[in-house]
Amino acid sequence: MAFVELIECYLTETPKLVQDMSAAITTQDTQTIWKTAHQLKSSSASVGAIALAQLCKVLEAQGCSSKLENSLELISQLYQEYEQVKTALQKELVKEVP
Amino acid sequence: MKADAQESQSLVLIVDDEPFIRMILRHFLEREGYQIAEAQNGIEAIKVFKQLHPDIVLLDALMPDMDGFECCTQLQNFDCSKYTPVLMVTGLEDQESVDRAFEVGAMDYVTKPVHWAVLRQRVKRLIQQSQLQQKLEAVNVELQRLVTIDGLTQVANRRRFEEYFNQEWQRMKRDKNPLSLILCDVDFFKLYNDTYGHRVGDRCLQEIAKAIKDIIKRPGDLVARYGGEEFAMILPNTDTEGATHVADNICHAVRTLAIPHKNSQVSPYVTLSAGFTTEIPQPDSDLEEMISAADRALYQAKAAGRDRFVQNIQLPKNKNSC
């Protein structure tokens, strides 16, 4: 059941990170954008959410260099991407737990 | 293939602020047979480290409160961390971060997302390496001890005597301070062995060595077994008066042991003859000559009836003689 626990952990942690990111973009808090994107990048890549990890990488780089570009568009993409990942993972979970 | 029995007892400390990463690392490493401890940031990692002494630390770089770099730097300050490898597991891929990690003492570096097959080998190798290094250092300490100690009497051996005498000679020459050397020899020891046997002879030497060691207590002094039944004492920063005192004490201590020696021609007990010399090494004086001088004094003590000590009186050197 470890796989289930891992996915559940990811699905619990990630919405918080997405929320933090959204708030940080609103306040132009580049430090928080950088760190949150960095966290989300590695966990997303670990569950195979490559597109989401890519988005995070862009945000991480922008946050790190304090040069935000298209950040509102990026965050909306992030939301959409996460929704897709969530749906896909939940499907997997259903397979695991009959 | 699972880790073998020894590795499976190894404790891995996982330090990461993300619960997901901690969970996935724990899951993977537990499957490999490791024990797991967790910490959420650098400060907690140090606390757990001090308590549990893990065999390896898997350390994230970016964490709130105290990051991985700072944590790694602080870990290096602990004595118990000397052999504990730190493996950085981070999403930072830039050269600066990698360089910095190794600078602060990390042994290895892997990036996230983790390549599990690689991590598995790295963790295994790092633990093996640190265990091997610990063993090597322990063996080296023991070897170092063995090459400088006389096995029978547990005082310094001849090799250590030569090395230390040379070193202290040079030091006293630089500091212009007196160096004293006492050579002593157990009286009629061959007869003692012939009378009581070699095993008893060995025990006699052990007792004498211990008695001498109990007298020579300053950390800079050295007691060595110089030959079969000869002992030597190197006394840095010791003048004639001090050396006389020590030589007297040694002869007295051996007398007081009262080890029976029925065939000795000077006493019913085992006794010692000692010769010593004191000098402030000069730029033109010779280290070998100092040993010869102590030896001559020892010979005089023997000739004068044994069970005594004699100081070598330095003959004034005639520089034009050769």
Does A10 touch chain B if contact means CB atoms closer than 8 Å?
yes
Nearest CA in chain B to A53: B113
Is the pLDDT higher at B213 or at B77? B213
Range of the domain at A33: 2-93
Residue B150 lies in a domain: no
User: Alpha-carbon distance B86 to B109, whole Å?
Assistant: 9
pLDDT for B1: 44
Shared domain check, B29 and B79: yes
pLDDT at A1: 54
First to last CA, chain A: 12
Backbone φ and ψ for B223, nearest 5 degrees, come out as -105, 130
- Amino acid B316: pLDDT: 55
What is the arithmetic mean of pLDDT over B246-259?
Answer: 96
Q: Which of B117, B23, B2, B34 is nearest to A1 (CA)?
A: B23
Whether the predicted pLDDT of B125 surpasses 90: yes
B131/B178 same-domain check: no
> B148 pLDDT exceeds 50?
yes
Q: Name the band, by pLDDT with cuts 50, 70 and 90, for residue B208.
A: very high
Q: Do residues B127 and B63 both lie within one domain?
A: yes
Residue range A24-35, pLDDT digits in tens: 999 999 999 998
Nearest-CA distance A69 → chain B (Å): 21
CB contact under 8 A, A43 and B17: no
| Tally of residues, chain A | 98
pLDDT at A97 over 80: no
CB A49 within 8 A of CB A17: no
Question: Bridge partners of B90?
Answer: B111
Residues B137 and B16 in one domain: yes
Q: What is the CATH number of the domain that holds A37?
A: 1.20.120.160
What are the backbone dihedrals phi and psi of residue B187, each rounded to the nearest 5 degrees, phi first?
-70, 135
Residue B129 belongs to domain spanning: 5-145
DSSP code at position A68: -
Q: Which of B89-93, B196-200, B224-228, B306-310 has the lowest mean pLDDT?
A: B89-93
On whether both B45 and B111 belong to a single domain, the answer is: yes
Same domain, B178 and B141: no
Section B157-169 average pLDDT: 96
**Mean pLDDT throughout B245-272?**
96
Please indicate if any CB of chain B lies within 8 Å of the CB of A22.
no
Q: Which two tokens stand for residue B19?
A: 């619960």
Across the interface, of B27, B90, B92, the residue whose CB is closest to A2 is B27
Of the candidates A35, A13, A17, the residue with the CA atom closest to the CA atom of residue B22: A13
pLDDT mean across residues, chain B: 92
Reported pTM: 0.69
* Together in a domain, B181 and B303: yes
In a domain, B228, yes or no: yes
Q: What is the mean pLDDT of residues B291-313?
A: 95
Check whether residue B217 and residue B239 sit in a common domain. yes
What number is the ipTM of this complex? 0.81
pLDDT of residue B320: 43
Number of domains in chain A: 1
3-state secondary structure chain B: CCCCHHHHCCEEEEECCCHHHHHHHHHHHHHCCCEEEEECCHHHHHHHHHHHCCCEEEECCCCCCCCHHHHHHHHCCCHHHCCCCEEEEECCCCHHHHHHHHHCCCCEEEECCCCHHHHHHHHHHHHHHHHHHHHHHHHHHHHHHHCCECCCCCCECHHHHHHHHHHHHHHHHHHCCCEEEEEEEECCHHHHHHHHCHHHHHHHHHHHHHHHHHHCCCCCCEEEECCCCEEEEEEECCCHHHHHHHHHHHHHHHHHHCCECCCCCCCCECCEEEEEEEECCCCCCCHHHHHHHHHHHHHHHHHCCCCCEEECCCCCCCCCCC
**Non-local CB neighbours of B194 within 8 Å, separated by 6+ positions:** B263
pLDDT at B3 over 90: no
Residues B129 and B184 in one domain: no
Q: Looking at the domain assignment, is residue A98 inside a domain?
A: no
Q: What pLDDT is attached to residue B40?
A: 93
Residues of A whose CB is below 8 A from B64: 35
**Cβ(A66)–Cβ(A36) under 8 Å?**
no
Grouping H, G, I as helix, E, B as strand and the rest as coil, residue A9 is: helix
Distance from the B100 Cα atom to the nearest Cα atom in chain A, whole angstroms: 17
pLDDT at B319: 45
Q: How many domains does chain B have?
A: 2
Confidence grade of residue A95 (pLDDT, cut at 50, 70, 90):
confident
Mutate to test the interface with A, among B14, B17, B18, B20 (most CBs of A within 10 A): B20
Ramachandran quadrant class, B302 (left: phi over 0; alpha: psi -120 to 50; beta: rest): alpha
CA B4 to chain centroid, in Å, comes to: 33
pLDDT at position A96: 79
Chain A hits for B94, Cβ within 8 Å = none
* Alpha-carbon distance B96 to nearest alpha carbon in chain A (angstroms): 14
The reply to whether B322 falls in a domain is no
> Cβ of A1 under 8 Å from any chain B Cβ?
no
Note whether A53 contacts B18, CB cutoff 8 Å: no
CATH number for the domain harbouring residue B267: 3.30.70.270
